[in-house]
Amino acid sequence: MKKLFGLGKGLNSLIPDAKHITPEVKKDSVFYVEIHKVRPNPQQPRHDFDDDGLKELSKSIKKYGILQPLLVSKVEEENNRGMNVFYQLIAGERRLRAAKIAGLPHVPVIIRDDFSEPKANLEVALIENVQRTDLNPVEEAEAYDRLAKEFGLTQKEIAEKVAKSREVVANA
C-alpha cells in the first residue's frame, strides 16, 4: 500500500477518529447523607418559599425521589467529643425543604469542596437562584446587587454568569 504525504491524506488526517477522542468530563459522585446533617445556607438569597409548591414537590419526591442531587460543601467543626461533620447547602433549598416534608431520612448530595469558601458558596447560591424563573423581581434585583457589590462584578459579567442579557440585569 502506498503511503500518502502532504495533501491527499483524506479527512482522517484533519478530523480524528471519534474512538480516539476522550472528552474532559468531570464526574461528581453522588452520596446519600442524613437529612439532618444538611444545613441551609445562611446566605440564601431567596426568602419566599411557596408552601403549596413545596407540598407539591414533596409529593413528587415521595413518589419519584429527588431527581437532582443537592449541592453541598463539607464543614467540620471541632467540639469537646471530637469532630462534628455537617454539610452546608449551596444549591437546592426547595428540594431540601420538600424532602423534610416528605420525611426522607437521607438525601442525595454532590459534595463540592471548591465552594467551601463562604464567598464562592454565596456566589453559586446567588447565581443558581437568579437562574430560576420563580424568583420574585425584588429578590432577583437584590441578588444582582449582591453579586455586584460583594464580588465586584460588572453588569456584563453578571449577565454572563446567569446566562441573561446585560440589559435584563441593568433593568432589574
Give CA–CA dist 97/111, Å, rounded: 18
Give 61-64 contacts, CB < 8 A, sequence gap 24+: 61/95, 61/98, 61/99, 61/102, 61/104, 62/102
Chain centroid to CA 66: 15
What order do you get walking across the sheet with 106-111 strand by strand?
Answer: 30-34, 106-111, 70-79, 82-91, 38-39
Give CA–CA dist 98/59, Å, rounded: 8
93 has catalytic annotation: yes
CB-based contact 116:41 (threshold 8 Å): no
From residue 103, alpha-carbon distances to 58, 59, 65, 93, 143 in Å are: 9, 11, 11, 15, 31
User: Which listed residue (93, 123, 128, 140) is catalytic?
Assistant: 93
Which positions are annotated as active-site residues?
93
